[in-house]
Amino acid sequence: MNTPDFSEPFDAAIDSGLEWLSENGEFVFDTLNTGLSGIYKAVLWCIAFPPYYVIALIIGLIGWRVIGSRFAILAGLALGLCALIGLWPETVSTLALVITATVLALVVAIPLGVLAGLAPAFDRVVDPCLDLVQTMPPYIYLLPAIALLGYGPATALLATFIVAVPPALRLTSLGIRMTPREFIELGDASGVTGWQMFFKIRLPFAMPSIMAGVNQSLMMAFGMVVIAGIVGSGGLGESIYGAVRTLDIAKSINAAIAIVILTMILDRLAQAAARSRVGEGQ
Amino acid sequence: MTTAKIDTNEVLVDCQSVWKIFGKSAPAAMNAVVQQGLTKTQILQDYSCVVGVSDVSLQVRRGEIFCIMGLSGSGKSTLIRLLNKLITPSSGKVFVKGKDLSALSPAQLREVRARHIGMVFQSVALLPNRTVLENTAFGLEVQGVGKAERYKVAERALAKVGLTDWASRYPSELSGGMQQRVGLARALTADPEVILMDEPFSALDPLIRRQLQDEFRQLTKELGKSAVFITHDLEEAIRIGDRIAIMKDGVIIQVGTAEDIVLNPADDYVAEFVAGISRLHLVKAHSVMTPAASFQAANPDVDLSRLTKTTAGADINELIGLTMNSERDALAVVDNDVVVGVITLRDLLRGVQGIPNELAASPSATVLEPTT
């Protein structure tokens, strides 16, 4: 075996690089850490402050508005169940993590996706990066995050953010690129400016694809937030991780039920929101 | 090439030896065409470039409906897109209202497209997320006209195409014919002088198509608009067009009125197209009549003043009707109270076949027994 001759110095270089980064970039990462945990805490405070039945009622009402009464009742009852099995604080902090990470990811992914859709050159650069991010096992992102940001929700947020960006970016770029040719011609023949072409023609046609991307990002974020229990994300992920370590099957199943409830509610809400946007014209 | 028989006033669209070559090495291919005069096939072999439009010149005048007829692959769709620079010519110039499109800044080009040259597409291209009214007002919206004002204008345009009641519906609720009417209303809303029609009625069923053809022609004439109308259907071109250009392999092989083209096809290709077209409404008395002098020479004993009178513009169908009701087998063609020619039965039959009266070749009206 000759490979270690090469791999040892390579590994050493990576390690020292990371060390150098954490020493010299301390200020940057501290700021990032403070910023991320600050946002997370603010979101968490908003959801955790009211008692559980208020949150269940609010989500039920939203569900009633966008989907229907049956979904609203089921969603409200299911959230009540989360509280009854004693996992309400964990449910709330998972919800806060998912919402924060998804929103942050969308703020970055949608503008970049638009750019990639409009500029093929940029797309050629972004595409392999997304391939890389998406082929790696998601928990890989926990390692550098924990090295640079330490144990806690900021690390979980960063790793979740990284995983949630690609789907929204990809589908936004696809939607922007897929504008039917005759509508581009219509715009040109009507004398539209570049901005008008984007907002009046490309964006409306891209909306279904963008909303599908939002939904996908949300689901990716959910998966990652649970995995991020390992790095002290708090919430249901950490409950499951703790239960796995102590082989507490009952507790792990309780937490799993809460996760499934939360996932299904958010997924249905996001899908319905996407449909109502797209369906305006039908 | 035959001359057009319409009044030659202001030229709105002027296309001067325009070429369009598609492919990666199109500029090199264009140079080769200019310098060595390569043919289409040579360009395809040597440069792997396709010649879409080859040395086309045409003028569209104010108030005129100009049809471009060609089969698929003839370059007609490319040609119409050169007229508003949706496609940039490889060589040659296009002038719209005297402005050279290639010399305009992007803002000026937008201005020309928004105000002077509208377009209607085969696919209609109505935005699915907007109502009929919002779609109709799109051109004005793009120009920054206020909501109240642009909806007022759009409602007027919808009224012209008979869709007032559908203003608040979505395009998916409309039939194909209605959608195409909205497309036309949208083009009219911006009040351009020229409307480019890219096979607008090709996808409609025959009955609706004829109805829309008539409506379109009537509306265009009423509003005094010019139109360039692309079609693969010669009958449609004849119904709608004041002048028709026949296009094949990127080249315009003949331009003229429907009558010109039917009576004097430029080559076998055009002749083949024209073969199936009924002459009854196309061929006019002046094209088939025997001149009065030569008729009198052959039949000195016929009194022309006793024949039923008709005009030089009467078509064969009318002439047949008149002849049937007449006691005599000939009609007198009168222009300014002077008998300029005679339509004999032989002339009528020639008209039905679409052969013009070439005096020299014709043995001319020999048999005619007036029933006096």
At B288-311, the pLDDT tens digits run 888 888 888 888 888 888 888 888
CATH pick for A13-49+85-281 out of 2.70.98.10, 1.10.3720.10, 3.40.718.10, 3.20.20.60 = 1.10.3720.10
Q: How confident is the model at residue A277 (pLDDT cuts 50, 70, 90)?
A: low
From A180, A188, A282, residue closest to B172, measured CB to CB:
A282
The answer, yes or no, to whether residue B50 has pLDDT greater than 50, is yes
Residue B26 has pLDDT above 60, yes or no: yes
pTM of the model: 0.79
What are B59's strand-pairing partners? Answer: B14
Nearest CA in chain B to A182: B125
Instruction: Report residue A21's pLDDT band, with 50, 70 and 90 as the boundaries.
Output: confident
Q: Provide the CATH number for the domain formed by B285-353 in this structure.
A: 3.10.580.10
Which two structure tokens, joined as six digits, stand for B329?
Answer: 């087998």
Closest chain B residue by Cα to residue A190: B114
Cβ <8 Å between A191 and B114: yes
Find the range with the poorest average confidence among A87-91, A111-115, A274-278, B322-326. A274-278
Q: How far is CA B168 from CA B130, B131, B135, B184, in A?
A: 9, 5, 10, 17
Token code pair at residue A81:
């169940």
Break chain B into its structural domains and give their ranges.
62-86+99-275, 285-353
3 state SS for B80-129: HHHCCCCCCCCEEEEEECCEEHHHCCHHHHHHHHHHCEEEECCCCCCCCC
Q: Which tokens go with B130?
A: 């907007």
What's the average model confidence in pLDDT over B150-164?
A: 92
pLDDT at B244: 94
Is-contact A216 A167, C-beta < 8 A?
A: yes
Q: Which residues contact B349 (CB under 8 A, 6 or more apart)?
A: none
Minimal-distance CA residue of chain A relative to B128 = A281
> Do residues B260 and B330 lie in contact, with contact meaning Cβ atoms separated by under 8 Å?
no
Residues in chain A: 282
Instruction: Identify whether the C-beta of residue B239 lies closer than 8 Å to the C-beta of residue B217.
Output: yes
Among B123, B23, B202, B72, which residue's Cα sits nearest to residue A184? Answer: B123
Least trusted range by pLDDT, from A90-94, B229-233, B243-247, B289-293: B289-293
Taking only the tens place, the pLDDT of each residue in A214-263 is: 999 999 998 888 888 888 888 888 888 888 888 888 888 888 899 999 99
> What was the pLDDT predicted at A281?
41
Which residues 6+ apart lie within 8 Å of A268 measured at CB? Answer: A63, A67, A71, A75
Average pLDDT over residues B208-220: 91
User: Residue A129's pLDDT is what?
Assistant: 92
**Mean of all residue pLDDT scores within chain B:** 86
Inspect the interface and report whether the beta carbons of B172 and A200 lie closer than 8 Å.
no
In the predicted model, what is the mean pLDDT of residues A174-182?
92
B201 to chain A, minimum CA–CA distance in Å?
16
Q: Looking at domain B62-86+99-275, does it have CATH number 3.40.50.300?
A: yes
Task: Give the mean pLDDT of A132-149.
Answer: 85
Chain B residues within 8 A of A189 when measuring between CB atoms:
84, 86, 113, 118-119, 196
Q: Per-residue pLDDT for B140 more than 90?
A: yes
pLDDT confidence band for B166 (50 / 70 / 90): very high
pLDDT value of position A198: 93
The span from the CA of B164 to the CA of B78, in Å, is: 34
Q: What is the pLDDT of residue A104?
A: 94
**Cα B343 from Cα B314, distance rounded (Å):** 11
HSE of B14 in the Cβ direction (CA atoms, 13 Å)? 11
Reported as a single tens digit per residue, the pLDDT across B61-71 is: 998 999 999 98
Is this prediction's ipTM beyond 0.85?
A: no
Top pLDDT among A144 and B205 is at B205
Reading the block at residue B74, the tokens are 């003839």
pLDDT tens-digit series, residues B320-336: 988 888 888 888 888 88
Confidence (pLDDT) at A149: 82
Q: What is the mean pLDDT of residues B171-196?
A: 92
Percent of chain A with pLDDT over 90: 38
Residue B185 has a pLDDT of 93
Q: Name the least confident of A7-11, A274-278, B163-167, B283-287.
A: A274-278
Confirm or reject contact between B129 and chain A (CB < 8 A): yes
Determine the distance in angstroms separating the CA of A74 from the nearest CA of chain B, rounded to an integer: 32
- pLDDT grade for B34, boundaries at 50, 70 and 90: confident
Domain positions in chain A are: 13-49+85-281
What residues of chain B lie within 8 A of the CB of A192, using their CB?
Answer: 110, 142
